[in-house]
Structure 1
Amino acid sequence: MKFLGKYGLWLAVLLVLGACTTQGPGVEQDHWRSGDYRLSLGEQGLDIAYRGERFATIDSFEFNFVHGTITELVPQPGAADGQAYLRITLEGEDGYIEDFPEQLRVRVTQDNGRFRFEASHPGFHHIGINLVDRDEHYFGLLEKLYPDNRKSPDLRGETVEVDVYHQGERDYAENYASAFSAFYLSSAGYGSFFDTFAKGEYRFAQEGITHIYHQTDELDWYLIHGPDGQHIHQRYYEVIGAPKSVPLWALGPVVWRDYNTGKEEILSDLEHFSELRIPLTATFVDRPYSDGGHEWSKMNFSDAFANPEEWIGQINRDFGMEVMSWVGPMTFGDTDFPGLLPNHRTYIDLTDPQALVEFERRLQTLQYDAGIRGHKMDRADENFPMTALWHDPVPESETRNTYVYLYSKVIDQFLRGAHGDNQFNFARAAYHRTQPFLSAVWGGDVRPNWQGMAGNLANAMRVGFMGFPVWGSDTGGYLGDGRIDEKLYARWLQWGAWNGMFEVKLDGIGGQGEDRVPWRYSERLQAVFRAVAEQRMAMIPYSYSLANTSASNGVLMKPMAYVYPRDENTYDLWDQYLFGGAFLVAPMLTPEDQRQVYLPEGHWYDFYDLNRAFKGEQTLSVTAEFERIPVFVRGNSLYVTGDIYRGSDRRWRGPLEEGRLTIHALPGKPGQKTAFTYVDAFEGDREKRMTLIRSGEEVEFQTPKMVVPTKVRLRLERAPRQVWLNGARTEPLYDAEQKMLLLLLPENQAVELRVEL
């Protein structure tokens, strides 16, 4: 918190507008230039433009609901890196603060297109910002399907409350879709981020104004310019911190039951999966598995799960899998725990040092020492008391959001102390600034039917706009009595394999009804399960690279408007998305085998048959057989697949002795180029940037050295005239039927491949 003046005095919001340009800072009053950016006072307010194109206009500010007009922009030509002040004239007073100021001086900062507006005052408790609506479209803020269970992510015209709350009201179909953030993206080319845990309200494009409000005494607001969601999020992560790294094992198929009868059932399930040759990399034990309140509060393993170091060790050793457990920040009435919130003695006070010591002690000695490697984090959003008295006091307006943040931070701290980076935690409740401490978000307690799957996909798109990089559905749905329709199961599995996190639920809620394990379904369903699990394993090099470069490359499941913000056809799209930069995924969300798919600009290929090419900017009617869903590969893209991690598949394939990689390169049109950053787990997670350039009748591909056998599959419409590898002419295989150039790369050498067409 910054204190910028005494009670009743002018406020200052410092505006630092980047490095000084060669021509020096502008000096005209009410006008400022910094590199490619220009700020100026116009008829509608403070205009912000990039290379002459205005992308935002700030109409006014509000302090304690008193309207403040921007009356002057005053550059500071003598200041380092350039400074300016906004002078705000307040149009009245609030009736509470004696000597309510008539004017405020406002300071702001700009760094690489990221504008920061700051102000604080002990007498102010309500801050508002008004922006002029530019016929733009707005995305972000909440995971819930708002309003009226609407799936479109576009919030234009809506009023949205930003405050973590549980279970959705009657208008929301998916219970506990509980990710929130004071961040939104605009199709005009900017992101808005109010850096506060205080609850807020946003009114989009109403009477020509977009209104941002938070119940706080401090203005700390960022307006972040960028061409698309990825670049805006890159600048956003520089503020809140880079997203948490994700281990290899967490990116393979993960299975679990809502109710396990004991360790024997867990081991039996894994044995059955092995018999079906369906590879897995992790499992987790959901509540109940402990003693105490709600069969959890002691945080131990009860008699049914006795000797956890033995059966967890067996899973590690015999199946090559890691084990996680369910955790909650509450004791469900068990008061035998220090540091419970004193007037609500069920939640743990995460600001109380004694509570944190005991919380970590129990998890370390009872779980981590036995081999638990991560957590499913539950319940932080459920009936949380706003009026609780914390050890370190928190304003009532900030309690829900702050608690969710602290829960992620504390659990990450515990796991990191035990396992370093080799750990994973995922939660259904998230708020901004949890990204550095939370490996993934899961989409809440979804219905086990077609509507539930569709709604959960819409949830995922909203989470992507907010900047939570890794998201996953409870594949198959959470609610209900277990067994679901076979076709629904197949379609959900096929979509789940293209989630950021792929986890599959094997039973009904509380263990009710018939199990959902694949051996209780047909061989056809088992074949689908096996195929998607094998595909997921093969994609680990790609998904691992995406997850661990999200600070620069954005979220894994990219909404269409996130990538194509100027394409009006994308604004309402919720039922398709890009996975990384290479794939367009279109899940099947009804029992029908046909659906519409919109291909944006560029050119595209059928993932299953690269000979099938499509022009962009068109809508296709596609048919999907039972065995697969529509997936397209973007022209001018790179992706990597391979065999770099083995979980339970080591039981029939043997342990991994040497990894193998395949680089898939699909050149663009003349003049286009692309890049992909591969994170090499065999070289200490070194980032290796690959590039692909098409210039006229020539294609160039470059990559740093690879330390495992690697081949390149380069799609070319015709056989090349000549191919040069590291300056020497070579004769690689060209498959005319597949239109594919195949080349084995030399090991431990950087590669420069040049192809003359």
Structure 2
Amino acid sequence: MRRAPIVLTVVLVSSLGCNTGPGPAVESGETSDTSTTGDGDGDGDGDGDGDGDGEPAEITLEWIEATPELRLLRGDEVLLSFGPNAFALGEVAAINDSSSYDPLFVEPDAWRIVASAQTLTNTPEQIEATLTYTSGATAQLIVDRLAPGRYEARWTPNPGGPVHAMLRLAPQVDAEEGFYGLGELFDQPEHRGTLRALALEFDPTLESSNNEAHVPVPFLTGTRGWGLYINDDHVSSFDVAKTASDTVIATVGTGPDTPSGLHFYLFAADHPLDITGHYYAVSGYPHVPAPWALGPWIWRDENQDQAEVEADIQTLRDLDLATSGIWVDRPYASGVNSFDFEPAQFPDPQAMIDQAHAMGLRFALWHTPYLDADDPAVAALRLEAEDNGYFPPDTALLTSNWDEPIDFTNPAAYTFWQDQVQLYTSMGVEGFKLDYGEDVTVGINGVRTVWSFADGSSERTMHKHYARLYHRAYQELLPDTGGFLLTRTGTHGDQANVDVIWPGDLDATMTRHGEVFQRFGSSYTGVGGLPAAIVAGLSLGPSGFPLFASDTGGYRHSPPTPETFVRWCEYSALMPVMQIGTSSNDVAWEFDDTVLAAYRELTRLHLRLFPYFWTHIAALSDGGRAIARPLGLAFPELGVHPSFDYMLGDALLVAPVVDAGAVSRAVTFPPGRWIHWWTGEIVDAAGPGPTIQMIDAPLGRPPLFLRAGQLVPLLRPTIDSLAPTTNPGIEPGQVDSYATAPGRLTVRTSAGPDAGLTLFDETVLSQASSDATIELAVSPGSEFAAGVSFEIVALGMAPSGVSDQLGELEQLDPAALANVERGWAFDSGVLQIKLETGAHQVVVVRR
């Protein structure tokens, strides 16, 4: 039985570090001409602490030898407290080589806690102490200050004395705060009261027979503004305030590697959204795809042949469906990973790839890391790999149908595999959907599944590290201008290789994770459908993977109903990456006209949001805030944690419809004014707590709200693709490509708190409102230099005048405004202002 941690109360006696934390993010209600991220906490002071003083609090780390205790503080507030029970050694009689030391199944003989400590160093830059345990064992704790709010720690048992096989960190936390991170989860993005396994485990309760932990990340953020990152690949679990409401218990099954200790980090910031930036600084910043990867992508699970692919490419353009990419899933090759195209199916694959490029589509392929011993098509490659030792020396339970995976720890095998992949990239393949590669598991029910690799490692760490090597091998081959790497798996640090995560085989339903449902006459305990996809995306953002794209429509038990397909399109359109496809090969034009019309509008909206998305992606290297932000993390002061409501960047509140048959949705609004994207209706959330209001949600129109005063940049409404067209001879106007001409920028905003936004191309926008005027400003950047159109929504009446530094603008009717470069029009609460190229300062005089 797990023991409840001992909670100690102590006094502060010394301090490590006196530097202030990172500067405050610019709050949505503050004026700034350089902001790319808003405050998100709703207090209006920009520092996230709710006190209104606008000053970032000092982050300190305090060490108390007498207790002993390590405390992480922001100002006078204790964020984390590591008392004697917080650095626990799992003692065993001897190392059992057959044990996986998986904390879900294995307990040590005894957990030993700290009895006393001796301080060796206590300076603003470093704390070092010797910890003495109740068993007489000792360990070294060294904590170094890396930057304001960022500390690196190493906790290492000393040689001699008892044998240890597990290590446990158990800091005391606030008994009411929320917790985010830990990788991809499907039940809820907030973790209080849960036990999370950070490894792929057998789970007979789900149809998939596993716990779906494809992207485990040992990085947890508390909503009071702290982070704990355990930089270790051994199997681990996080008891997130489940055993005790004020304690997080992170247990790592280090087994025979325990003498090497545990490497971890502590982070603190004024707002919890900023903790991810600290994580990136030590684990690697996200690799991001080429800009064209943010356009909608389409695929079929099984393409019949080249003719079908080429027909789909042509249909996309004939039907005027916004799309930037297409990938071909298996089977397309002579065999799985034969690195060719099956000649009877694909007689001229180069022509197919060239046609995609000509039509403004990038081209990708599905792939895996195997060579099937029973497949004649890969016999020569398989023999070469066997003769040269390109497979792991020892393998255990295999989870794919194609034998053991390539051993990427072997440099020669790594090069061999890349040489084959280049056969595709040399043809113009710019992206890969990487599937499987999860054979390396730590064990079953606590018993090892033994693997060995060329570099001497075993499954004890390779169950995580294999994903990094697999993904890196492909990422290194993508174009210097950027590519598209969509992966099913990942772990901490792998964000430096992976562009986008997709959640594998979700149900083609609107059911929740673990829900029992009926489908085609059978009963299933499902992985989950659309609701699970939303949770997965919201759990990955705070875990360091900012880009996520589920199979729009689902995969298991396809086809989706038309309602499920459209509702899923609504959600996918309001994420930075949108990929559309199911296991039953559903494409929008094979549904009815109602579905096709909704699909056309939603994919166009997604594409138009590109400058908004790409601006937030560019900001990942300077702040690191998640793009899709769970509402409870974006507004921790609300004290609520809805699983399906989220902020999309700074300006947009999204509440996807997740219940079949629903035509309305209860939406949680933080304090402020929120403007309905589709109708212009205003929700005035008085605060200080959340406001919950029922919102109509007809099919094709998800609840989407603009935060008053914020600025949302959009592409022109005719845009078809973000990718270039390579054939100048295609029919004029058939492909309206952003890559050909970025064109006029559209900016949607409203009267509200002052706000500023600098786009990725250095276009600078601002909005400031008073009772008498609305003032707008634009300074064009490198790409958006063809003029700007402002859309000011939710105005009660037409203004009495609009002017800029060149003088008064002419009032026109909306139809006439479309044909000029300068002027304004008002219709149904929306003020449209068109301005020619150049910088402008606009004054709207309100009546």
Sort the Cα spacing of 1:722 and 1:709 in 2 relative to 1 into closer, same or farther, 3 A: closer
Sort the Cα spacing of 1:321 and 1:498 in 2 relative to 1 into closer, same or farther, 3 A: same
For 1:167 and 1:390, the matched residues in 2 are separated by: 27
Mapped pair 1:522 → 2:592: yes
For 1:142 and 1:186, the matched residues in 2 are separated by: 14
**Stretch deviating more after TM superposition (633-642 or 81-90):** 81-90
> Match for residue 759 of structure 2?
678
Residue pair 2:573, 2:606 contacting (<8 A) in 1 also: yes
For residues 358-437 of structure 1, what are the structure 2 equivalents within 5 Å? 358-365=416-423, 367-382=424-439, 387-415=450-478, 419-437=479-497
Residue pair 1:68, 1:88 contacting (<8 A) in 2 also: yes
Residue pair 1:246, 1:544 contacting (<8 A) in 2 also: no
**What do residues 505-539 of structure 1 show as CA deviations (whole Å, max 9, x unaligned)?**
1552xxxxxx5233332111111111112212211
For 2:798 and 2:581, the matched residues in 1 are separated by: 47
For residues 51-70 of structure 1, what are the structure 2 equivalents within 5 Å? 51-59=75-83, 60-64=86-90, 65-68=111-114
For 2:122 and 2:620, the matched residues in 1 are separated by: 37
Cα deviation for residue 351 of structure 1 reads 1.0
For residues 551-570 of structure 1, what are the structure 2 equivalents within 5 Å? 551=621, 552-569=623-640
> Match for residue 5 of structure 1?
none
Cα deviation for residue 434 of structure 1 reads 1.1
Sort the Cα spacing of 1:550 and 1:74 in 2 relative to 1 into closer, same or farther, 3 A: same
* Aligned counterpart for 1:49 among listed residues 66, 73, 80: 73
Cα deviation for residue 313 of structure 1 reads 0.6
Residue pair 2:803, 2:844 contacting (<8 A) in 1 also: yes
Sort the Cα spacing of 1:521 and 1:174 in 2 relative to 1 into closer, same or farther, 3 A: farther
**What do residues 134-180 of structure 1 show as CA deviations (whole Å, max 9, x unaligned)?**
212222214233xxxxx333322222221245888528799856121
> Match for residue 461 of structure 1?
538
For 1:341 and 1:500, the matched residues in 2 are separated by: 37
Sort the Cα spacing of 1:275 and 1:735 in 2 relative to 1 into closer, same or farther, 3 A: closer
For 1:483 and 1:104, the matched residues in 2 are separated by: 57
* Aligned counterpart for 1:663 among listed residues 747, 751, 758: 747
Q: TM-score, normalised by structure 2?
A: 0.75
* Aligned counterpart for 1:326 among listed residues 366, 386, 389: 366
For 1:87 and 1:177, the matched residues in 2 are separated by: 36
Mapped pair 1:705 → 2:743: no
Higher percent of residues as strand = 1
Q: Which amino acid aligns with 2:550?
A: S
**What do residues 337-387 of structure 1 show as CA deviations (whole Å, max 9, x unaligned)?**
42111333621001111111111111112x111111100011022465852
Residue 182 of structure 1: SS of its match in structure 2?
strand
> Match for residue 645 of structure 2?
576
Gaps in structure 2 of 5+ consecutive residues: 1-14, 22-56, 91-110, 255-259, 374-378, 396-402, 443-448, 512-528, 812-823
Residue pair 1:174, 1:446 contacting (<8 A) in 2 also: no
For 1:541 and 1:174, the matched residues in 2 are separated by: 39
> Match for residue 747 of structure 1?
837
For 2:491 and 2:263, the matched residues in 1 are separated by: 16
Sort the Cα spacing of 1:69 and 1:468 in 2 relative to 1 into closer, same or farther, 3 A: farther
Q: Which amino acid aligns with 1:362?
A: Q
Superposition RMSD in Å: 3.2
For 1:561 and 1:532, the matched residues in 2 are separated by: 26
Q: Which amino acid aligns with 1:531?
A: E
Cα deviation for residue 490 of structure 1 reads 1.6
For 1:352 and 1:104, the matched residues in 2 are separated by: 34
Mapped pair 1:619 → 2:692: yes
**What do residues 84-117 of structure 1 show as CA deviations (whole Å, max 9, x unaligned)?**
3345332214xxxxxx43x635333252212221
Mapped pair 1:495 → 2:579: no
Residue 597 of structure 1: SS of its match in structure 2?
strand
> Match for residue 562 of structure 2?
486
Residue pair 2:194, 2:240 contacting (<8 A) in 1 also: yes
Cα deviation for residue 50 of structure 1 reads 1.3
Sort the Cα spacing of 1:194 and 1:755 in 2 relative to 1 into closer, same or farther, 3 A: farther
Residue 192 of structure 2: SS of its match in structure 1?
coil
Cα deviation for residue 446 of structure 1 reads 0.8
Residue pair 1:164, 1:429 contacting (<8 A) in 2 also: no
Q: Which amino acid aligns with 1:162?
A: L
> Match for residue 550 of structure 1?
620
For 1:505 and 1:329, the matched residues in 2 are separated by: 23
Residue 546 of structure 2: SS of its match in structure 1?
coil
Sort the Cα spacing of 1:547 and 1:483 in 2 relative to 1 into closer, same or farther, 3 A: same
Cα deviation for residue 557 of structure 1 reads 1.7
**What do residues 305-344 of structure 1 show as CA deviations (whole Å, max 9, x unaligned)?**
2332221011111x21011001111223363342111333
> Match for residue 62 of structure 2?
39
Residue pair 1:175, 1:445 contacting (<8 A) in 2 also: no
Mapped pair 1:275 → 2:352: no
Mapped pair 1:212 → 2:236: no
> Match for residue 474 of structure 1?
551
Residue pair 1:721, 1:756 contacting (<8 A) in 2 also: yes
Q: TM-score, normalised by structure 1?
A: 0.83
Cα deviation for residue 609 of structure 1 reads 2.3
For 1:67 and 1:646, the matched residues in 2 are separated by: 60
For 2:691 and 2:411, the matched residues in 1 are separated by: 58
For 1:111 and 1:575, the matched residues in 2 are separated by: 34
> Match for residue 405 of structure 2?
347
Residue pair 1:16, 1:83 contacting (<8 A) in 2 also: yes
Cα deviation for residue 645 of structure 1 reads 6.4
Sort the Cα spacing of 1:466 and 1:107 in 2 relative to 1 into closer, same or farther, 3 A: closer
Residue pair 1:282, 1:323 contacting (<8 A) in 2 also: yes
Q: Which amino acid aligns with 1:89?
A: T
> Match for residue 281 of structure 2?
238
**Stretch deviating more after TM superposition (120-129 or 435-444):** 120-129
Sort the Cα spacing of 1:594 and 1:107 in 2 relative to 1 into closer, same or farther, 3 A: closer
Mapped pair 1:193 → 2:229: yes
Q: Which amino acid aligns with 2:179?
A: Y
Residue 289 of structure 2: SS of its match in structure 1?
coil
**Stretch deviating more after TM superposition (736-745 or 400-409):** 736-745
For residues 294-313 of structure 1, what are the structure 2 equivalents within 5 Å? 295-303=335-343, 304-313=345-354
For 1:496 and 1:178, the matched residues in 2 are separated by: 20
Cα deviation for residue 448 of structure 1 reads 0.8
For 2:209 and 2:612, the matched residues in 1 are separated by: 33
**What do residues 545-564 of structure 1 show as CA deviations (whole Å, max 9, x unaligned)?**
22333333522221112201
Residue 530 of structure 2: SS of its match in structure 1?
helix
Sort the Cα spacing of 1:477 and 1:626 in 2 relative to 1 into closer, same or farther, 3 A: same
Cα deviation for residue 746 of structure 1 reads 5.0
Residue pair 1:409, 1:437 contacting (<8 A) in 2 also: yes
Cα deviation for residue 662 of structure 1 reads 0.9
Residue pair 2:235, 2:461 contacting (<8 A) in 1 also: yes
Residue 632 of structure 2: SS of its match in structure 1?
helix
For residues 436-455 of structure 1, what are the structure 2 equivalents within 5 Å? 436-451=496-511, 452-455=529-532
* Aligned counterpart for 1:356 among listed residues 411, 414, 424: 414
Residue pair 1:688, 1:704 contacting (<8 A) in 2 also: yes
**What do residues 648-670 of structure 1 show as CA deviations (whole Å, max 9, x unaligned)?**
9986545445322112233434x
Q: Aligned residue pairs: how many?
A: 690
Cα deviation for residue 711 of structure 1 reads 2.3
Residue pair 1:224, 1:232 contacting (<8 A) in 2 also: yes
**Stretch deviating more after TM superposition (700-709 or 322-331):** 700-709
Cα deviation for residue 579 of structure 1 reads 1.5
Mapped pair 1:17 → 2:17: yes
> Match for residue 141 of structure 1?
182
Q: Which amino acid aligns with 2:113?
A: H
